[in-house]
Amino acid sequence: MPTSSKKFTSSHGSIAYTDNELKQVPVIFVHGLPTSKEIWEPVLLFLPSDIRVITYDLLDYGESEKINHSISHIERADVMDELRAHLGFDKFVLVAHDLGSSVAIDYMGKYASHIEKLVLMSPPVYPDFKEPFIVKIVRIQGVGEVLVKIFKHILLKVGILQGMVNKMRLTHELFAAISNGFTGREGDLALLRVLRWGRPFNVFKNYPRIIESIRVPTLVIQGRRDPYIPLNQATRLRDTIPNCKLALINEGSHFLPMDTPKEVGVEIGAFITG
């Protein structure tokens, strides 16, 4: 079950995190766009009870600091490693969803020695990835500002629901945790920053080289009904990384931790303990 949030001040800003402080090998869970650490709560119910679980909000998301400037994926990877050092362990399992998977690839590029196992879920990680239409629209200067100011909650809810088969699992509590991270004018600006994270052909340009270097056991999880991430992003990972397993969830879409939490939890639990 989730624990109360704590704060850690990294070199780039203050992040909110949870840690159940158990003694087993730690597992850090990283959310993606446009969610928060609470996206993992449905999954935690289906994980082995003795796993040390750490979740955190990326900067500009959730309860973490709104930093008033853009931050690169590599800098986000640096923040994750600062959190690892703060929590006092050397090795851990990294589980990442959506753009969290992109941060995970950058983490592997700089800090691979700390990773025991890697889980990438709904991963946009290749330079030829095409951004969803709504992201392209919000990136238009002036248009994005108007859309976020007037239709922020609609954009968030519609965007999430389009990426779920089991839409009733986006509960009021989960949506509030996600949307409350973008409250007010400061939240508007944070949401614009995270939606304008960069272009894949530039941000992901070094990822093929990093992916080819990955040698830790890796699990890729992809929903067959994902409207945002093409299946080939996942199959290319499977075909490139030695000792990589691809788990396809037939009735799963994009936001798998909320959409199919039992299937995700079972896959992750078996992978971590296997």
For 224, the domain range is 6-273
pLDDT digits (tens, 9 = 90+) for 210-237: 999 999 999 999 999 999 999 999 999 9
Residue 74 lies in a domain: yes
Residue 152 lies in a domain: yes
pLDDT score at 3: 73
Residue 1 lies in a domain: no
Phi and psi at residue 218, to the nearest 5° = -130, 140
The answer on pLDDT for 128 being more than 60 is yes
What is the rounded radius of gyration, in angstroms, for the C-alpha atoms of the chain?
Answer: 17
pLDDT digits (tens, 9 = 90+) for 49-104: 999 999 999 999 999 999 989 999 999 999 999 999 999 999 999 999 999 999 99
Of the listed ranges 32-46, 80-94, 128-142, the least confidently predicted one is 128-142
The answer on pLDDT for 2 being more than 80 is no
pLDDT score at 91: 97
Ordered strands of the 26-30 beta sheet: 6-10, 13-19, 52-56, 26-30, 92-97, 115-121, 218-223, 244-249
Residue 167 lies in a domain: yes
- In total, how many domains does the chain have? 1
Mean pLDDT of 152-159: 95
Phi and psi at residue 222, to the nearest 5° = -140, 135
pLDDT score at 1: 52
Residue 204 lies in a domain: yes
Question: Residue 175: which of 55, 258, 254 has the closest Cα?
Answer: 258
Say which CATH number the domain at 255 has.
3.40.50.1820
